[in-house]
Structure 1
C-alpha cells in the first residue's frame, strides 16, 4: 500500500481536533522540525519541546474543522479553523510517512 500524504494530513488534524497528544506526537519523526508563526515565530526541534508545544497548543488553540487540504510541490497544505481564525499548515513527510516538518501560521 502506498503512502497518501493528504490522508496523513487529515489524520493529523483529526488527532489535533481530538486532543490526542500521544497520537499527534507519534506522527512526528525523531528529527522533526516545527516552524510556527501563530503567536510569534517558534522553532521546535526536540521531542521534549514538541510535547510542550502541543500541550500549549491544544490548550490555547484548539482546531474545530477542516477548511481545505491540497498537495503542493513542497508537501501537503492543510487549512483549519481555530477560534482565532483560519490557520494554514504545510506538512512534509519522510520516507516512512512520519511528519518531517510542519510550518504553520495564520491564513491572511
Structure 2
C-alpha cells in the first residue's frame, strides 16, 4: 500500500471547511483526544494522520449513517467492541481501556 498523509495545511483546511473544533476533528478521525488532533497539526513536528484514521474520517463524511452502522456491525460480529460516540476513556465491555 502506498500512503502519504495529508499535510498539516490540508488537515487545517478540512477543519476550517467543516467548521469543526479540534475535539470534533478528533472524534471524526477516531483519535483518543483533541490533544492528539493538535499533535497532528503541529507544524513544527508534523505527525501525519494514519491511513485508518483518515479512512474512518472520510467514511464518516461520505457514507450514509446506515452504511456506517453496517460496517460497525460487521466489526462487532468479528469481535470488536466499538461505539463511535463514547469518550475514549470509557471502559470497553471487558473492563479494558479502549485505545
TM-score under structure 2 normalisation?
Answer: 0.28
Structure number having the greater helix percentage: 2
Higher RCO (C-alpha 8 Å, min separation 6): 1
Bigger Cα Rg: 2
